[in-house]
Amino acid sequence: MKRNHEDTLRVGGVSSGYGVGGSRNSGGADLKGECSSMSSGKGKMWVEEPEAGGMDELLGALGYKVRSSDMADVAQKLEQLEMVMGTAQEDGISHLACDTVHYDPTDLYGWVQSMLTELNNSPNDPTELLGSNQIDGPLLAPAESSSIPNIDFENQSQIFSDDDLRAIPGMVACPQTDPDSENSQKRLRSSPIGSDSIPALPPSPSASNVSESTRPVVLVDSQEAGVRLVHTLMACAEAVQQNNLKLADTLVKHVGMLASSQAGAMRKVATYFAQALARRIYGIYPQETLDSSFSDMLHMHFYESSPYLKFAHFTANQAILEAFSGVNRVHVIDFGLKQGLQWPALIQALALRPGGPPIFRLTGIGPPQPDNSDALQQVGWKLAQLAETIGVQFEFRGYVCTSLADLDPTHLETRPGEAVAVNSVFELHRMLARPGAIEKVLNTIKVIKPQIVTIVEQEANHNGPVFLDRFTEALHYYSSLFDSLEGSAAGLSSPSQDLIMSELYLGRQICNVVACEERDRVERHEALAQWKTRMCSAGFDPVHLGSNAFKQASMLLALFAGGDGYRVEESNGCLMLGWHTRPLIATSAWKIPATE
């Protein structure tokens, strides 16, 4: 079984090189031949060490011919085999998954011990066997087998990259419990997947001193695999953080394999994160595509399949409506017009308000189009048609600029006697990529002197200085988000196009958060508290979103299948939409204090 490295170097092809079924062949005794083909195939990422020629003595005593330098690969294959056996469903071998208990193959003493105690039927038996911790045998194996050659062949320890698996927090077989394992367990506390806490392992035993309380090993199940998946992702991110790209590469491939054993949201999240990590490791940074028709389409599907954008639009509209009450000429400046989906509802609400509709002016801001077509004008024309049908006087202006920081307030043509509203849905966080840009934008807003500024942003901190922290936060955030999408599609037999497109839409964000840096990393989400601080220090006062907005939002959420999972929360006048206990997006409204 030779791995195709061409596959893994292909962008996004992290999980493609692994047929889990292929590992079945590795069970035989001919490990030597396979290992050498594997080690030669790994030439690209690993420094080619001269073949030591030394077979592992301990395994040799058992009749296996394995090179010490290949131990990591052996261990990995054993692990794969374990995975397959644990999940095999086909006839003939399904009993491997159901009826067998998997023992750690390197721990003969412990196995014999447990056999003996079973046979003796001592009263301690059940507690000993069942009360033992759920430890991953296969993952013990490589660590242990690696430690053995380390003890005996000290000069070969550098060939063997023991640090591969030592970096996996919580599963280390090294005697010291590293502080990482503590942290990783804390991080995982709020993880959506099952939280079997993996305790720090006892010191790796040599054959002579085994503590009975830690054996034997229990079946691998998918919940546990899910926890391992997260662990491996975190370990990979940590490796990237430490610039240990060799290790990171190994781990990211591991993730691909583990992810294939999962189902549903977790698999998709893991795959997207693995792809993004792979891009970061290989340095294949995605270009910031200006093809906005594609991203608009994804945006559209995301709008339709989940309540997030609708929530954003409806709550912002409610705030704008209330700010505009009693005014006859209104002007809305939309920082990201896209398809203009927010505005029909506002136009209709203005048409039906007591006292009749005002004269409504809309300025839509958008990026330049690669094909020079005027997308903004087309949207404006559609909105004008709608407004005419309903009977609202409407005027539209499109404003093209690459970045909001380039916005010139004098070009916006504010007219006297007009109430202005500034609306930004998921646009402001992009300004944090360039220093000074956000201050410039906020100043521009102040020059415009709006009645109200509505801001909708993701409720997460993906802009911390440390990569690993960002990665962890993003993992939790997008796991919740994908869960919610999965929840609302639960009633359907096959995933709809909307769902797939929405996931792709989110996947691009994930890629940006993880793989890009500096100017390219535009998905710099920050939490509501941070935005509040920023707005307050820029001189804005908060405006409370009323109970109408809350009621409408909660009604909207009740309409979505899976609606029981969505929650609207009110926090000091701001509304947050979340999935179960995790808030995901937040709407807030601001005004300039009157004394200014």
Partner 1 sequence: MVQPEEQEKRPKFSINDHLDILIEILKRLDGPSLGVAACVCRLWCALIRNDDSLWEHICFRHVSVPPPTSVRPVVAALGGYKRLYMGCVRPMLSRLGDSERVRKRVWTQHEVVELSLSLFCVDSYERLGGSGRLGGDASASSLKFLCKPVNV
Residues that bind partner 1 (CB under 8 A): 293, 296-297, 300, 303-305, 314, 339-341, 344-345, 347-349, 351-352, 354, 356, 375, 378-379, 381-383, 385-386, 389-391, 488, 490-492, 498, 551-552, 554-556, 558-564
Residues 169/184, Cβ–Cβ less than 8 Å: yes
Which of 329/353 has CB closer to partner 1? 353
Question: Which tokens belong to 212?
Answer: 């009975």
CA 292 to chain centre: 23
Min separation Cβ 272 and partner 1, Å: 23
Min separation Cβ 351 and partner 1, Å: 5
Which of 354/417 has CB closer to partner 1? 354
Question: Which tokens belong to 46?
Answer: 């690993």
**Cis status, amide bond into 192, omega within 30 of 0:** no
Q: What are the residue ranges of helices labelled H in 352-411?
A: 375-390
Residues 97/130, Cβ–Cβ less than 8 Å: no
Residues 139/61, Cβ–Cβ less than 8 Å: no
Question: Which tokens belong to 438?
Answer: 């956000």
Which of 207/352 has CB closer to partner 1? 352
Min separation Cβ 315 and partner 1, Å: 12
| Degrees, nearest 5: CA angle 477-480-482 | 105
Question: Which tokens belong to 143?
Answer: 């660590």
- The HSE-up count of residue 108 (CA atoms within 13 Å, CB side) is 7
Which of 19/391 has CB closer to partner 1? 391
Distance CA 336, CA 522 (A): 15
Min separation Cβ 306 and partner 1, Å: 8
Which of 360/531 has CB closer to partner 1? 360
Which of 350/432 has CB closer to partner 1? 350
Which of 197/373 has CB closer to partner 1? 373
Distance CA 480, CA 458 (A): 12
DSSP state of 208: S
Min separation Cβ 323 and partner 1, Å: 18
Query: Residue for token digits 């509501």?
Result: 528
Its sign, for the CA torsion 178, 180, 181, 183, is: positive
Min separation Cβ 263 and partner 1, Å: 17
Min separation Cβ 393 and partner 1, Å: 14
Query: Residue for token digits 């940006």?
Result: 512
Min separation Cβ 325 and partner 1, Å: 15
**Burial call 71-102: b when 16+ CB within 10 Å, e when fewer:** bbbbbbbbbbbbbbbbbbeeeeeeebbeeeeb
Min separation Cβ 314 and partner 1, Å: 7
Min separation Cβ 363 and partner 1, Å: 18
Which of 399/566 has CB closer to partner 1? 566
Neighbours of 118 (CB within 10 A): 13
Distance CA 229, CA 257 (A): 9
Which of 310/361 has CB closer to partner 1? 310
Which of 475/568 has CB closer to partner 1? 568
Distance CA 42, CA 36 (A): 10
The single-letter code of the amino acid at 333 is: I
Query: Residue for token digits 């300025």?
Result: 363
Min separation Cβ 412 and partner 1, Å: 24
The single-letter code of the amino acid at 264 is: G
Which of 324/471 has CB closer to partner 1? 324
